[in-house]
Amino acid sequence: MTRKKIIQLVLGLVLVLVLGIGGLYRNRTITNPATGGETMGTGYSVKITGPILKSDLEKLTEKIDARLIELNRQMSTWDPASEISAFNHFHSTERFSCSAEFRTVVERALYFSESTGGAFDPTLQPLLNLWGFGSEGDDRTIPSDAQIAETQLKTGWEKIEVKPDGLQKTDPDLSLALGAIAKGYGVDALAAILDEAGLTDWFVEIGGEVVARGVNPDGVPWRVGIQYPTTNPMDERLQGILHMTNGAVATSGNYRNYIEEEGELFSHILDPRTGRALHTRTAGVSVFAENCMDADGMATALYVMGPEAGLEWAEKHEGIEALFLIHGPDGEIFEKFSSGFRKATGYTSVR
């Protein structure tokens, strides 16, 4: 055999080996995978840019599912066996022992309560039930002034204290509802799993609350739609689009969960200061922050505060940017921004 033929044979064997390894790798990997499911009374989705081993994706999905089950076990008022349900039915002023994560979320909620002058309050479970929005509520009806005043006596963020190993009520009838902040914390928990896996380009959301990193499969920032505020659930029009490479965004609004009376909408978001469902021209508030727990909590708080006070608060707090969507007198939608919202999010209006 000549030297030339030996070289050709070796090169051929190398090529076969490379092609074989490449085919094996392709069979073991998946590119731009997406996964999702149901959690926290809504849906979640995870999208990853680039290739990942199928075995690694399976492990990642198992971690995500287990994490979500655990967070529901801690903070879902719809689960009678959850930590928060146990706390709510713990009619005592003795210390209540709880998980560190549950305590962390309550502590952050109380920070927002204090910093917004009570526009955010995690102790609204009795009022949510009264209005029919809570896990133990009846039909959705507008309660009387007397009912609201009586129920308000069982609320108040100042009536709960965070201890090193638990929580403590000063009113035994106090109960919590963390729906305005727990989904955001859940998104952050899934984001931590993706970060720990060494992934750099991904998107995760729970019920529309989002954290994004890097770029999408097209190599550009992740596109996050801000829905046009309408009560028609089949209307998928967008008000605008965010272009995100790093950060979190959450939205609160009155156009999906509400009481309608004589053509007027009363939001599922209650004003803790009055005990009443909000009846306002503000259709929705989207908040951008470094983490989704903060974005989620502040979207609710700023919605309660309204455009003037809400944007003033956002301007004074670094790392929080906000977009208000406001109904005009003829039904048109106006946009009002904090000074850094468009730069932080790459927001473009499509209306």
Check pLDDT > 70 for residue 345. yes
Residue 83 lies in a domain: no
Q: In the chain, what percentage of residues exceed pLDDT 90?
A: 76
The separation between the first and the last C-alpha atoms of the chain, rounded to the nearest angstrom, is 74
Check pLDDT > 50 for residue 55. yes
Question: Are residues 317 and 249 part of one domain?
Answer: yes
Among positive and negative, which fits the CA dihedral 143, 149, 150, 155? positive
Question: Are residues 237 and 116 part of one domain?
Answer: no
How many domains in the chain?
Answer: 3
Residue 216 lies in a domain: no
Question: Are residues 345 and 239 part of one domain?
Answer: yes
φ/ψ of 128, rounded to 5, equals: -60, -40
10 pLDDT tier (thresholds 50, 70, 90): very low
pLDDT digits (tens, 9 = 90+) for 282-298: 999 999 999 999 999 99
Residue 41 lies in a domain: yes
Cα 287 to Cα 297: distance, rounded to the nearest angstrom:
9
Question: Are residues 70 and 182 part of one domain?
Answer: yes
Q: What contacts 321, CB < 8 A, 6 or more positions away?
A: 287, 288, 289, 314, 337, 338, 340, 341, 344, 345
Residue 121 lies in a domain: yes
232 pLDDT tier (thresholds 50, 70, 90): confident
Place of tokens 């209006």: 349
Question: Are residues 241 and 343 part of one domain?
Answer: yes
Question: Are residues 62 and 158 part of one domain?
Answer: no
Going along the chain, which residue ranges are E strands? 29-31, 34-39, 42-48, 51-53, 95-97, 160-163, 166-169, 202-206, 209-213, 222-227, 238-244, 246-253, 258-261, 264-267, 270-271, 276-277, 282-289, 321-327, 333-337, 348-349
Q: What angle do CA 137, 139, 142 make, to 5 degrees?
A: 95
Check pLDDT > 90 for residue 25. no
Cα 218 to Cα 15: distance, rounded to the nearest angstrom:
31
pLDDT digits (tens, 9 = 90+) for 310-342: 999 999 999 999 999 999 988 889 999 999 999
Structure token digits, residue 187: 């998104």
Question: Are residues 153 and 49 part of one domain?
Answer: no
24 pLDDT tier (thresholds 50, 70, 90): very low
Specify the CATH number for the domain of residue 304.
3.10.520.10
Residue 1 lies in a domain: no
More confident residue, 87 or 132: 87
| Max mean pLDDT range (14-28, 53-67, 221-235) | 53-67
More confident residue, 5 or 133: 133
- Residue range(s) defining the domain that contains residue 235: 221-349
Question: Are residues 243 and 104 part of one domain?
Answer: no
To the nearest whole number, what is the mean pLDDT of the chain?
A: 90
Question: Are residues 199 and 234 part of one domain?
Answer: no
Question: Are residues 324 and 261 part of one domain?
Answer: yes
How far is CA 11 from each of CA 2, 18, 20, 21, 301, rounded to the nearest angstrom? Answer: 14, 10, 14, 15, 67
pLDDT digits (tens, 9 = 90+) for 262-284: 566 677 889 999 999 888 889 99
Question: Model-level pTM?
Answer: 0.89
pLDDT of residue 15: 45
219 pLDDT tier (thresholds 50, 70, 90): very high
pLDDT of residue 244: 97
